[in-house]
Amino acid sequence: MNRLPNFLAAIALVLAAFLCAAPSARAQTLDETLARFATDRFPDTARAVEEIARSGHPMALEIVEALTDGRLAWRPSDRRLYVIGADGATRAAETGKAEPDSEAAGLRRVRVNNPVRQTIAAALGVLRLNSADPGQRRVAAEAIMQSRDATQAPALEAALGRERDARVATAITLALAALRVVDPAQPESVRLAAIDALAERGSRDALVLLRSIPADAPAAIRARAERAAAGVERHLAILGGIQNLFFGLSLGSVLLLAAIGLAITFGVMGIINMAHGEMVMLGAYTTFVVQEVLRAHAPSLFDWSLLFALPLAFLVSGSVGIAIERTIIRYLYGRPLETLLATWGVSLALQQAVRTIFGSSNREVGNPAFMTGSFDLFGIALTWSRLWIVVFTIAVFAFLLFVIRYTDFGLRMRAVVQNRAMAGSVGIRTNWIDAFTFGLGSGIAGIAGVALSQIDNVSPNLGQGYIIDSFMVVVFGGVGSLWGTLVAALSLGVANKLLEPVAGAVLGKIAILVFIILFIQKRPRGLFAQKGRTAES
Amino acid sequence: MIVQRLAGRLGLSERIFVAVVVALCVLVPLANLVFPPGSPFHVSNASVVLYGKWMTYALLALSLDLVWGYCGILSLGHGAFFALGGYAMGMYLMRSIGTRGVYGNAILPDFMVFLNWKELPYAWYFFDWFGYAMLMVMFVPGLLAFVLGWFAFRSRVTGVYLSIITQAVTFALQLSFFRNDMGFGGNNGLTDFKDLLGFPVQAQSTRAVLFALSALALLGGFAIAKAIVSSKLGLVLIAIRDAETRTRFLGYRVERFKLFVFVVSAVMAGIAGALYVPQVGIINPSEFSPANSIEAVIWVAVGGRGTLTGAALGAVLVNASKTWLTAALPTLWLFVLGALFILVTLFLPKGIVGTLGAWFADRRGKP
Amino acid sequence: MIGRKTTDALLYLDGVTVSFDGFRALNKLALLIAPGEMRAIVGPNGAGKTTMMDVITGKTRPDEGDVLFDGGEFDLTKLDEAAIAELGIGRKFQKPTVFESHTVEDNLRLALKAPRKVLPTLTARRNAEEKARIDELLATVKLDAQRRTPAGGLSHGQKQWLEIGMLLAQDPALLLVDEPVAGMTDAETFETAELLKRINRTHSVVVVEHDMAFVRELGVKVTVLHEGSVLAEGTIDQVSADERVVEVYLGR
């Protein structure tokens, strides 16, 4: 590259920067436009975005997109513009040709601020409206609707004229409606139609538009908008309710997952295991270890990591549970308060052990592909990880019910719980049933840890966060009743999420705690209490 | 006369305990103030604060033993009573900072100015009066214990259920005190205290006096606890612990006895907290942490539940080990604490004093 | 017929029904105990004997039915255990429950008739009258030598007697005694029967017992419970001759 063009470009830039202040700048070439990006001044950048959007340049969309992501850069020495790919490769902005020899280190990123971002949004709108990809065009129409930039109306009208895709056409119609409804220049009939179109869409942005009809608009328009807004609000309230319900169910299933092992050890066996949370934590760390091993030796299997982690976590937590039962708890049967203290000691030791091995900071546990991202259901955004956890929880619950009801082990377990002496005398080895039942509860907690590693920080304190909630769930549901635990967890989850918008997250949680405490006063044996003389002791 | 009657009932370990605490009460401040640093008899300022802290912990353990050791109520919420007493004291100390705070506001503590509050919350009214603050030190924990006990004991929530409830209440309190809106300094709590009744809290002499007061409070707490457990009411408490239903069928209203001892114990814990705060110079929501409450339980278990001296001894022993170990081998401490919980419940259910007592009784019984 | 007699009865049960999870522990049970009477109640396991005790002492609330005390003066279904105990109904449990870590003397002291409120117990002092009463009780239940022994160190039979002593200390109008001779030797059984008869001179007593020899020894009116209601009533010989009783109980 010779020096003269650089020199000229520099002069042009200085001129451009100078002219920028004066609104009369005309007759730009593409070079000038691109050069504006390299002045490091926000007004220039904004203008450059507008210009390039109108230019019809084949690289225009790519340049503006790069700018949004902070991948547009310029070289201070010659003020040439580069697009940096997601992989780090640089290409010349003007030509789109790869220029691998340009050192990325010397490049400076083009900065943006909020006014520039608005300009970008509008520009992207226009650019994408012309995209070959219908999905892009739809996104563009929606972006224009958001931007409420009246100057885009002609571009929309033009786009609507040539649009073949029905969904994209709807989106464009809506965007047009959004622009027209607040535009006093439009005839009343057009604006009324726009209101109807918005009302049909029924989204929050539509509501904002309907509410923003200026007070000086004709009475008919205002009245129609008022009615439409009320309708949209109702619609949104219902959607919001459904969304909260889902969030509540999701939280409830997390609670259930954490509590379900406890429903066995505490609920069925009556062992108060304060190290229950640590069984969950061990499950989460098992997931971490499995992922580390897979990353190192078989990266292609990473998406299957949870599948490997589940049985391992069950084994790890289950065998730790059995070890605790055999070495400590069995000597303390019939002394619940002592069991509480001893298992608290176990929990401290386990936490410290994990802290010593893995460090006290959070460990990164990745989400496999199927757990990442979200999807849209009737206008409600749901994350896959939450949905899978609900599904998973149901599966675990069903598994547990199956084990207890239909397996030989479950039969023996129930026999021991109901009448230990009789079970012993018909040849059941009650002490091993105790150990394995405790192991089952602990193993289930480990499985819960696998799931919770996907949505919570994996740290030595992970279990502590769940222990009080878990006990509350089991006690609230009624000790000894698995279904009670299910109902309790789900209803507490939903109640918590319904309270959150009203009272805030912390107050909501406190309110729930206080409610359970009062509830236990009234019904000390929980929702699904077992009545009778045997339950009295 | 009451003192005499009480003194007559003291066992050997209790006489030793009283003698040691009285001696400490006099000697530690003396050794700190009279002997210069470097003298073999000198007790450093840091040690005075540390020992003072242990005295308040011992009082907390004593209060916990009163309900757990004698009445079988395993409270996992005594840390909350301790913290509430501490907060009441902290509020007095905050108010007495006056214009010396960073923002120089005569009425509002710094954190309120920082949060841009214009008026003092009602809860903070009158806390500039020492007498009122001291009343609250006892009243607030007492009230919480009364309300909690009233509901729980009347509905016959016992055993681990009660333990879990007290833990949940503590947890709920911790969450609430973390909130800035509660008006108790949120996350940071209350700190930067200047003086107590005009005496600078950082001064050597104030700290020596605070130590002596803590030792006296421990003695006072011991006297009250001893008076309770050696009365007929003490017999009823142990009866409730050992056979609650039987006690009820004898015509005792178990819930009222439990409520009484629970409230007395909570007030004692509150006083301990109030003495703790000016010595360590800060009170924040972490004092409500459920782990703290349950740690206090192990002090009592180590020393010997159902023996008042054991509770106090256990508090000092465990905390001395903690101080030593966290400095020498920090990663080991939680293992040791965890092991303490396990080993004491498995192998030393009566604790040190209880086991020694049984051993002596055995020896005296044999020949 | 029963209704007119309520004023005479010390204890009056009528139509008392209790069910646990669908199982009827008591089924329209009716029972009358006259002042000064001693009654033996027998019945096979699950006949509802212990549940009946629970209802009378306020531990279990009946689903329906009347439980009246002292000539219909007090409705026991409205009172809790402590209040019923203070009215003058003492109960001895099936499994002897004494306060194991208290001495025999302290066990009796706790049971002695005295104010049961919190503050009076805090300020209560030992006095000569109390000591005399305890001495007397110790003599009655033959535990003088064990005065300072922790109750946990007593033999099974001694615990049973201590519990009876505690009942006497309460000085109740009505004693409910659940299986007092379970696990006792023949000699102890005989002595216990004598003790109960002596107690009956000044108190009404309801004895629940399996041991037919013991019931015969008492020589009082017998009520046979079966499936939560009264199957037969009369002297031991009468009920022993009753075919239904033989079938459900003695025949086994």
Interchain contact, C21 vs A530, CB within 8 Å? yes
User: Which burial class, exposed, middle or buried, applies to A103 when counting CB atoms under 10 A from its CB (0-12, 13-18, 19+)?
Assistant: exposed
**Measuring CA to CA, how many Å separate A221 from each of A171, A177, A188, A192?**
22, 13, 7, 6
pLDDT class of B3 with cuts at 50, 70, 90:
low
Q: What is the mean pLDDT of residues C18-23?
A: 80
Which of A331, A344, A510 lies nearest to residue B346, judging by beta carbons? Answer: A331
User: Which burial class, exposed, middle or buried, applies to A92 when counting CB atoms under 10 A from its CB (0-12, 13-18, 19+)?
Assistant: middle
Give the integer Cα–Cα distance in Å for A40 and A469. 53
Interchain contact, A468 vs B167, CB within 8 Å? yes
- Interface check A332 vs B, CB under 8 A: yes
- Closest-CA residue to B319 (of B268, B284, B272): B272
The predicted structure's pLDDT at residue A202: 74
Mean pLDDT by 10 residues, chain A (537 residues): 52 49 47 79 84 77 82 81 78 76 71 82 76 78 76 78 80 81 78 80 76 77 83 85 85 89 84 92 94 89 88 96 94 88 94 92 83 73 84 92 89 84 84 91 93 88 87 85 89 87 80 83 72 39
Most B CBs within 10 A among A331, A337, A472, hence the mutation to make, goes to A337
Give the integer Cα–Cα distance in Å for A261 and A276. 8
Which of C59, C111, C122 lies nearest to residue B250, judging by beta carbons? Answer: C111
Looking at the complex, report in whole angstroms how far the Cα of residue C25 sits from the nearest Cα belonging to chain A.
10
Of residues B262 and A54, the one with the higher pLDDT is B262
Q: What is the ipTM of this complex?
A: 0.90
The predicted structure's pLDDT at residue B265: 97
Most C CBs within 10 A among A481, A525, A533, hence the mutation to make, goes to A533
Which residues on A lie below 8 Å from B259 (Cβ)? none
The predicted structure's pLDDT at residue B4: 66
Instruction: Return residues 52-71 of C near B (CB < 8 Å).
Output: 57, 59
Backbone angles phi, psi at A368, to 5 degrees: -60, 160
Question: How many CB atoms neighbour CB B30 within 10 A?
Answer: 14
Residue B49 has pLDDT above 80, yes or no: yes
Which residues on A lie below 8 Å from B285 (Cβ)? none
Domain ranges of chain C: 1-87, 89-219
Question: How many CB atoms neighbour CB A234 within 10 A?
Answer: 11
Range of the domain at B339: 2-365
Which residues on C lie below 8 Å from B243 (Cβ)? 97-100
Interchain contact, A532 vs C21, CB within 8 Å? yes
Question: How many CB atoms neighbour CB B230 within 10 A?
Answer: 15
- Interface check B37 vs C, CB under 8 A: no
| Segment B73-107, tens digit of pLDDT | 999 999 999 999 999 999 999 999 888 888 888 88
- Least confident stretch, A52-61, B307-316, C210-219: A52-61
Give the integer Cα–Cα distance in Å for C159 and C186. 16
Which residues on B lie below 8 Å from A341 (Cβ)? 294, 297-298, 301, 341, 344-345
The predicted structure's pLDDT at residue A379: 66
- Interface check A520 vs B, CB under 8 A: yes
Classify A174 as helix, strand or coil. Answer: helix
Interchain contact, C110 vs B256, CB within 8 Å? no
Looking at the complex, report in whole angstroms how far the Cα of residue A534 sits from the nearest Cα belonging to chain C.
10
Interchain contact, A533 vs C21, CB within 8 Å? no
Cβ-Cβ contacts under 8 Å between A and B: the total is: 114
Which of B235, B238, B252 lies nearest to residue C116, judging by beta carbons? Answer: B252
- Interface check B5 vs C, CB under 8 A: no
Torsion angle of alpha carbons B65, B67, B73, B78, nearest 10°? Answer: -80
Which residues on A lie below 8 Å from B169 (Cβ)? 513, 517
Which residues on C lie below 8 Å from B9 (Cβ)? none
- Interface check A533 vs C, CB under 8 A: yes
Query: How does the average pLDDT of chain C come out, rounded?
Result: 86
Interchain contact, B233 vs C121, CB within 8 Å? yes
Please name each of the domains of chain A with its CATH number.
Answer: 3-115 (no CATH), 130-217 (no CATH), 239-522 (1.10.3470)
Which residues on A lie below 8 Å from C20 (Cβ)? 531-533
- Interface check A530 vs C, CB under 8 A: yes
Question: How many CB atoms neighbour CB B223 within 10 A?
Answer: 16
Classify A314 as helix, strand or coil. Answer: helix
Residue B55 has pLDDT above 90, yes or no: yes
In C, minimum Cα distance to B257 occurs at C118
Of residues A374 and C130, the one with the higher pLDDT is C130
- Interface check B361 vs C, CB under 8 A: no
Which residues on A lie below 8 Å from C93 (Cβ)? none
Which residues on C lie below 8 Å from A480 (Cβ)? none
- Residues of C near A (Cβ–Cβ under 8 Å) read 20-21, 23, 25, 50-51
Residue B344 has pLDDT above 90, yes or no: yes
Domain spanning C1-87 has what CATH number? 3.40.50.300
DSSP state of C56: H
Interchain contact, A506 vs B349, CB within 8 Å? no
In C, minimum Cα distance to A535 occurs at C20
The predicted structure's pLDDT at residue A283: 95
**Measuring CA to CA, how many Å separate C220 from each of A456, C99, C180, C212?**
72, 31, 16, 12
Which of C20, C50, C51 lies nearest to residue A531, judging by beta carbons? Answer: C20
The predicted structure's pLDDT at residue A185: 76
DSSP string covering C66-108, please? EEEETTTTEEGGGS-HHHHHHHTEEEE-SS----TTSBHHHHH
Most A CBs within 10 A among B150, B160, B293, B333, hence the mutation to make, goes to B160
Cβ-Cβ contacts under 8 Å between A and C: the total is: 10
Which residues on A lie below 8 Å from C50 (Cβ)? 533
- Please report where in the chains the tokens 């299997």 appear, as a residue: A301
In chain B, the number of structural domains is 1
Report which secondary-structure segment, H or E, holds C29.
Answer: strand C23-33
- Closest-CA residue to A8 (of A42, A31, A37): A31
Interchain contact, A472 vs B175, CB within 8 Å? no
Which of B175, B331, B338 lies nearest to residue A348, judging by beta carbons? Answer: B338
Interchain contact, B250 vs C57, CB within 8 Å? no
B336, two tokens: 């040791």
Which chains would you list as touching C if contact means 3+ CB atom pairs under 8 Å? A, B
List the beta bridge partners of residue B282: B191
- Interface check B256 vs C, CB under 8 A: yes
The predicted structure's pLDDT at residue A25: 40
Which residues on B lie below 8 Å from A349 (Cβ)? 334-335, 338-339, 342
The alpha carbon of residue A296 and the mean position of all alpha carbons in its chain are separated, in whole angstroms, by 27
| Overall fold of domain C89-219 | Rossmann fold (3.40.50)
- Least confident stretch, A102-116, B33-47, B231-245: A102-116
- Interface check C145 vs B, CB under 8 A: no
Which of B231, B243, B251 lies nearest to residue C85, judging by beta carbons? Answer: B251
Which residues on A lie below 8 Å from B156 (Cβ)? 524
Q: Are C40 and C222 in contact (CB under 8 A)?
A: yes
B251, two tokens: 């015509």
Query: How does the average pLDDT of chain B come out, rounded?
Result: 91
Looking at the complex, report in whole angstroms how far the Cα of residue A532 sits from the nearest Cα belonging to chain C.
5
